[in-house]
Homo-oligomer: A and B are copies of this chain.
C-alpha cells in the first residue's frame, strides 16, 4: 500500500535489510511489530517491499514519536532478536520529509 495522504514536513524511517538464513519466527514478529507501531503516538503510515533487499519505510509526526517507538520494550526485544538471528545486515535512516509529489492515474484499471 502507498501512503499518500500526508503533508510535509514529517519524518520517514528508512529500514533496509538483508536477511540471514535463519528466518524462523521473523514473519510473526514483523507482523506483530507492524500492529504495535500502528498504535503508537505520531505513527502516520508504513510502506514495505522485498526482493534481494527489504525496504520498509515508516512515517512519523516527529522525532520524539520515533524515539518513543524505538524505546518500546517489545520493539527493543524484537530488535535484539533481529540482530542475533534474522538480519545479516541492515541500515536505518531517520529523515525529514521536506517535499512530496503524488500521481494517481484514475483512468487506469
Contacting pair A51 B53 (CB below 8 A)? no
Question: How many copies of the chain does the oligomer comprise?
Answer: 2
Q: Which residues of B contact A8 (CB under 8 A)?
A: 93
- Give the distance to chain B from A96, nearest Cβ to Cβ, in Å: 5
> Knowing A55-B49, A55-B57 touch, does A93 contact B100 (C-beta < 8 A)?
yes
Q: Count of chain A residues with Cβ under 8 Å from any Cβ of B? A: 44
Q: How far is the CA of A93 from the CA of B93 in the complex (A)?
A: 14
Interface presence of A2 (CB below 8 A)? yes
A93 to chain B, nearest CB (A): 5
- In order of increasing CB-CB distance, the 4 nearest A-B pairs are A95-B95, A49-B49, A94-B99, A55-B55
